[in-house]
Structure formats: structure tokens, C-alpha cells
């Protein structure tokens, strides 16, 4: 396939997205300030004008820097912006971090968003999952389907890299932004999620970002921190001064042990154990 053909297909998908959003009449976009939701919000505003709004859910699982970026973006572009307090730690069973944790959280969150949009007279709620999300374990998408939340990026057939390309075309600042996710995703399944541990992870990841690491995760296993960075940045830890500084600061945040994952950053690494458990179960 030629580059021109690929470009034509990309723009066909983008036009399909625009048509989908136009059909809504009015929409509230679940906005985290990430790559996907920023692109979706930008397109929704371009299509629907002031009939498009942003809704950001804030909680101890949502990094403050992301909340600040969401607020700054909407203010700079004159977009109506609602803030909803999410209370996932109060959801029955959530703190125990079951494998359907994301389902519990999304159901609580989008139920609140449906109440808000009903009060404000907004017809639809749209969330930013893309076509690539279909390939990972995403129990939150079940709650999205059950509650009738729209997923226009998936419906238009857009994947992550396509969204980045279109974002670059539209001069969006997030086109090359690293991927982030809820801090609760850093916990091994079955480990209790607490405000203190969420804060430890948030501080640890912010430290690594401030040190210039582009894509980071700090996974928590009890009192052990497992650091994931991009494979080509792993070598930076050969610097004794940096390595010791990271260790001492994470130790100060509350971690007893600090390790570096030799495979580097990858999405859904906490789901790898689920895959192994499924294989083991199939053999018995």
C-alpha cells in the first residue's frame, strides 16, 4: 500500500469520526488530558462547537499533573469543563484490587457522568478508548457497554498511532505525549490499594519524569517498587549517582526495595500474570 493510500484511509476514518460525533447533537467527552481523549475532545469541539464539553474525573488515583493539564487545556481553548470527584476507594471491594477493578471504577464513574449529563441536557457521553484497546484485558469496557457510553474512536476504527498522526496534523500538544493510566493499575492484583500507596507511586513516577525519563511506570508489589522505563533508557541506571539517588528518594517515599524491570516499559504488564494463570488453568 502506498503512503498516499494510507493517508487516504486515515482521513476516511477521521471523517467517519466527525460524522459519528455530529450525530450525537451534544456530547460530554471523558477527558484525562491524554493523547486519545485530547484528540477526541478537539474533534468534538470542532464538529459540535459549544455543544461539546469536557468532563474530568479526579481522585487519588489520578495524578495532579494530569488534572492540571486538563484544566489548562480547557481554559486555553474556551471549552466548558466539568470536574467530577470519583470515589473509587469507597466502592465495595475496590481496595482489594480484584481483577475486575477497572469495571468497578468505570461503572461508578460513568454512572456519575450520566447523572451530570442528564442535569445539563447533554445527549451523549464519549470515552477515548481506541481500536488497540480491544487487544488487552480491559474490564472497564464492559461497564462502558453496559451503561451505553459511546466509544467513537473505536467505532471509527482508529488505533493509537493513527490518533497520534492525526493529532500531529491538528497541532495538538499531546501528539507525542507518553501514555499514562490510572495509578491503581500499578498494583499487583489482590494487593490492597490505599491512599498512601497511591501517593508513593505518584511521587516515584513524578521523580522519574522530572529526571527526564520519557515513559515510566512504577509498579508496586508490597513494599517493593518495580521501575519500568523505555528499553533504550535502561542504560541510564548504570550511572551510580542516578541509581543511588533514585533508590534513596523512593526509599524516602516509603518503598523498602527498589528494582528495575529488565524488559522495560510495556502496557498491561500486570496482566501478564493473568495470561500465565489462564495457561496454567488450561493445562489442569
Residues with active-site annotation = 182
Please classify residue 106 by burial: count the beta carbons closer than 10 Å to its beta carbon, then call 0-12 exposed, 13-18 middle and 19+ buried.
buried
**Whose CA is closest to 89, among 68, 62, 114, 66?**
62
Contacts 24+ apart (CB under 8 A), 219-222: 219/186, 219/187, 219/188, 219/261, 219/269, 219/270, 220/186, 220/187, 220/188, 220/191, 220/255, 221/188, 221/191, 222/191
The set of cell numbers assigned to 108 is 461508578
Amino acid at each position: 500500500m502506498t503512503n498516499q493510500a494510507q493517508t487516504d484511509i486515515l482521513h476516511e476514518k477521521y471523517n467517519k469520526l466527525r460524522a459519528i460525533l455530529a450525530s450525537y447533537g451534544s456530547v460530554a467527552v471523558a477527558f484525562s488530558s491524554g493523547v486519545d481523549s485530547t484528540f477526541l475532545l478537539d474533534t468534538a469541539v470542532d464538529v459540535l462547537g459549544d455543544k461539546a464539553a469536557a468532563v474530568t474525573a479526579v481522585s487519588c488515583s489520578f495524578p495532579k499533573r494530569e488534572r492540571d493539564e486538563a484544566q489548562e487545556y480547557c481554559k486555553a481553548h474556551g471549552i466548558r469543563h466539568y470536574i467530577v470527584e470519583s470515589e473509587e476507594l469507597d466502592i465495595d471491594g475496590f481496595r482489594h484490587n480484584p481483577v475486575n477493578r477497572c469495571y468497578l471504577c468505570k461503572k461508578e464513574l460513568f454512572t456519575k457522568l450520566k447523572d451530570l449529563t442528564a442535569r445539563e441536557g447533554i445527549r451523549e457521553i464519549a470515552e477515548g478508548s481506541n481500536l488497540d484497546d480491544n487487544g488487552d484485558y480491559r474490564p472497564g469496557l464492559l461497564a462502558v457497554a453496559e451503561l451505553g457510553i459511546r466509544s467513537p474512536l473505536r467505532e471509527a476504527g482508529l488505533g493509537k498511532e493513527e490518533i497520534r498522526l492525526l493529532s500531529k496534523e491538528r497541532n495538538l500538544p499531546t501528539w507525542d505525549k507518553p501514555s499514562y493510566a490510572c495509578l491503581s493499575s500499578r498494583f499487583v492484583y489482590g494487593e490492597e490499594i490505599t491512599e498512601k500507596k497511591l501517593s508513593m507511586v505518584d511521587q516515584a513516577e513524578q521523580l522519574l519524569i522530572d529526571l527526564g525519563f520519557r515513559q515510566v511506570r512504577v509498579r508496586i508489589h508490597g513494599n517493593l517498587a518495580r521501575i519500568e522505563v523505555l528499553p533504550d533508557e535502561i542504560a541510564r541506571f548504570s550511572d551510580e549517582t542516578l541509581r543511588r539517588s533514585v533508590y534513596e528518594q523512593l526509599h524516602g517515599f516509603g518503598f523498602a526495595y527498589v528494582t528495575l524491570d529488565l524488559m522495560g516499559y510495556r502496557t498491561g504488564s500486570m496482566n501478564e500474570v493473568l495470561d500465565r494463570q489462564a495457561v496454567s488453568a488450561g493445562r489442569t
